[in-house]
Amino acid sequence: MTSPGGARESALRALIKIDEGSVYAGQARNRVLRFYNLPIQERAFCTKLIFGVTKYKKAIDYVLGAFSSRPVQNMDPIVKNTLRLGVYQILYMREIPDYAAVNESVTLVKSLGHPGKAKFVNAVLRSVSRKTDAIIFPDPSRDWVSHIAVKYSHPEWLVSRWIKRFGPEGTINLCLENNKEARIVVRTNTLKITREDLIKELDQQGFGPYPSNLVDEGIELRNAGGLFNTGLYLEGFFFVQGTASMLVSHVLSPEPGDEILDLTAAPGSKTTHIAELIGDKGRIVACDMHEHRLALIKDNAERLGLSSVEFIRCDSRRLPKDIKATKFDKVLLDAPCSGTGVLRKKADLRWRRIKNDINHIVTLQTELLESAANQVKPGGILVYSTCSIEPEENEVLISDFLSRHPEFSYDYSQPFLPSGFKKAFQEQGRPYVITYPHIHGTDGFFIARLKHC
């Protein structure tokens, strides 16, 4: 179906669904893109609008509160989200003329059956456009938390935590990085093609590829419109995976012939990476408790041409008897986490998380880590990773684990790192790896390699 209002109407419909709390931002984007037949450039614009408005919602609503006599929370969903779209374009998309942002917003409200409210939308957006230089955010000299939380659109509880660790300047840089568009990175399936040849193929198809300087099989793309419809994708020549995420499998350092257990494995990015690193020669048992997520691993493994992966549906805290009776050379637990290291990829996650979530998540992570530890053979390796940058989920949790398990110790040294990351971390002096978006330009990840003594 073709959307009469194009990218803006499609984005509006997605934003209303996100606002209702019924779907995640990524799901809402995918649904409108499947439903409306938008050209590639319009699809990209629609995505930018959805994720941009969602990320900057706190700052946008603050601005609307200053320019509207009507409280944002009392506005009709169509009017409220149309105004958000308009303010986002005026403040954060300088390539779009203000008059276009205003006029298109007014047209959008009219076309969706709200002609009487078009004057209100027009008045608010024109006022914002005329007085952008007069917008005053909370005074940092009085309250850094409020200033950063509002101006850079993050929840206060997260900003408060980060200021204690990174200081105001570091926290601002982290928030700025989180508000950027996520980079598209692909992992070369080295069982089918070399990175150099894949770069040539992607370049010929207009994706603007260039090699990652951190991971040998990584390729970053300048644009990704239509990527998943290419023969290269459908025939399994690459997998979309972030650079820091690729590092996890390298720290595991799997070898051909290894027996490997991958807990909470879906959607299979690390599972399939491990299979490629061992040349598809070994045994990988991938566990996940959700059938539809386990199906994602199966589909990805099949597309990539991998046969060394077995699939087990189970709660990774309560493994089947045959698996529980087996000791593995390598065990990977990429644990469920708060996701604070991937906020630029998950636009609405910052608004869905609350402070108390971390305590509940740590309890789950601890239970999963105990289960994982039971499956490591003497002399074997256990790798624990998260896409969180919160200490309770990472180094504090591992420290507590090691205090209870003297049979395990840190086993981390530079040879397990790809050359690019080795250079980046040689000065850290830590027995684990932690990446930060604002420092390393990657997702935020924690990775600990433990050895069973």
Its domain, for residue 194, covers: 184-240
Cβ burial 202-238 (10 Å sphere, 16+ → b, else e):
beeeebebebbbbbebbbbbeebeebeeeebbeebbb
Beta carbons of 42 and 36 less than 8 angstroms apart = no
Please check whether residues 89 and 158 belong to one and the same domain.
no
CA distances in angstroms from 160 to 64, 388, 390, 439, listed in the order given: 24, 16, 12, 19
CB 185 within 8 A of CB 218: yes
The CATH number linked to 371 is 3.40.50.150
pLDDT in tens, the chain (453 residues): 445 569 999 999 999 999 988 799 999 999 999 988 899 889 999 999 999 999 999 999 999 999 999 999 999 999 999 999 999 999 999 999 999 999 999 999 998 877 789 999 999 999 999 999 999 999 999 999 999 999 999 999 999 999 999 999 999 999 999 999 988 999 999 999 999 999 999 999 999 999 998 899 999 999 988 899 999 999 999 999 999 999 999 999 999 999 999 999 999 999 999 999 999 999 999 999 999 999 999 999 999 999 999 999 999 999 999 999 999 999 999 999 999 999 999 999 999 999 999 999 999 999 999 999 999 999 999 999 999 999 999 999 999 999 999 999 999 766 678 877 777 676 667 889 999 999 999 999 999 999 999
Of the residues 196, 222, 240, the one at which a domain ends = 240
233 and 259 assigned to the same domain? no
- Residues 171 and 236 occupy one common structural domain: no
Task: Flag whether 395 is in a domain.
Answer: yes
What is residue 443's DSSP assignment?
-
pLDDT of 325: 96
| pLDDT value of residue 422 | 77
Q: What pLDDT sits at residue 413?
A: 65
- Same domain, yes or no, for 105 and 253? no
| Domain match, 365 and 386 both | yes
Are 296 and 430 members of one domain? yes
Total domains in the fold of the chain: 4
Q: Are residues 446 and 354 in the same domain?
A: yes
Quick check: is 156 in a domain?
yes
List the beta bridge partners of residue 238.
Answer: 188
Alpha-carbon distance 198 to 189, whole Å?
Answer: 9
C-alpha distances (whole Å) from 230 to each of 121, 204, 205, 236, 237 are 41, 12, 9, 10, 10
Return the pLDDT at 414.
Answer: 61
Query: What is residue 22's predicted lDDT score, i.e. its pLDDT?
Result: 77
* pLDDT computed for residue 430 by the predictor: 83
Q: Are 167 and 213 members of one domain?
A: no
Contact 422, 410 (CB under 8 A): no
Give the pLDDT score at 376.
98
pLDDT given at position 5: 61
Global confidence as pTM: 0.94
Residues that are catalytic = 387
> 194: exposed, middle or buried (C-beta count within 10 Å: 0-12, 13-18, 19+)?
exposed
Q: Are residues 84 and 154 in the same domain?
A: no
Instruction: Among 178, 195, 230, identify where a domain stops.
Output: 178
Fill in the amino acid letter for 274: I
Q: How much is the pLDDT for 4?
A: 53
Residue 414: inside a domain, yes or no?
yes
Judge whether 380 lies within some domain. yes
Q: Are residues 249 and 228 in the same domain?
A: no
Evaluate whether residue 1 is within a structural domain. Answer: no
Residue 139 domain flag: no
For the domain that residue 99 is a member of, what is the CATH number? 1.10.940.10
| Residue 141 located in a structural domain | no
Q: 287, 264 in Cβ contact below 8 A?
A: yes
Angle at 52 between CA 18 and CA 350, to 5 degrees: 60
Which of 67, 99, 134 is the C-terminal boundary of a domain?
134
Could you tell me if residue 140 is inside a domain? no
Q: What is the pLDDT of residue 147?
A: 98
pLDDT of residue 45: 94
Looking at residue 183, its pLDDT comes to: 87
Same domain? For 201 and 150 the reply is no
Let me know whether 386 and 265 are in one domain: yes
Could you tell me if residue 313 is left (phi over 0), alpha (psi between -120 and 50 degrees) or otherwise beta? beta
**CATH code (residue 209):** 3.30.70.1170
